């Protein structure tokens, strides 16, 4: 069985500050890991994914995440927050490939303070 834990349902950062959204996963097989972003009244947009290979993955809008197997973590970071980053972020896991069901975390709402 697979599961995802996101620490912090709400995170506030100042504009220009580092963004760090935490995600830990549980999976019985090597996982595929994803971060999705949801803007108000919109769908889920893929930010980045880890499947195999390089453990530091870069995504859209300056975000990146690092897969750490020993810590079962996949934290999302961005060096400098922008007002447009305010949204809800979901960490997700899929076993044995992207065609398998995706299990989502509970989400973290990011607030960016001017």
Partner 1 sequence: EPEVTQTPSHQVTQMGQEVILRCVPISNHLYFYWYRQILGQKVEFLVSFYNNEISEKSEIFDDQFSVERPDGSNFTLKIRSTKLEDSAMYFCASTLAGAQPQHFGDGTRLSIL
Decide whether 40 or 114 has the Cβ nearer to partner 1.
40
Decide whether 24 or 51 has the Cβ nearer to partner 1.
51
Told to check if 46 binds partner 1 by CB under 8 A, we report: yes
Told to check if 26 binds partner 1 by CB under 8 A, we report: no
Told to check if 7 binds partner 1 by CB under 8 A, we report: no
State how far the Cα of 111 lies from the Cα of 104, in Å rounded to an integer. 20
Told to check if 36 binds partner 1 by CB under 8 A, we report: yes
CB of 15 to partner 1, least distance (A): 27
Binding site for partner 1 (CB under 8 A): 32, 34, 36, 42-46, 49, 51-52, 90, 97-107
């Amino acid at each position: 069985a697979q599961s995802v834990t996101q620490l912090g349902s709400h995170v506030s950062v100042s504009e220009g500050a580092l963004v760090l959204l935490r995600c830990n996963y549980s999976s019985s097989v090597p996982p595929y890991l994803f971060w999705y972003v949801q803007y108000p009244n919109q769908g889920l947009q893929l930010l980045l994914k880890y499947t195999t290979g390089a453990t530091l993955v870069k995504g859209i809008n300056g975000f990146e995440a690092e897969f750490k197997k020993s810590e079962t973590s996949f934290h999302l970071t961005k060096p400098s927050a922008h007002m447009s980053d305010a949204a809800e972020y979901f960490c997700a896991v899929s076993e044995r490939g992207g065609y398998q069901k995706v299990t989502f975390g509970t989400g973290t709402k990011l607030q960016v303070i001017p």
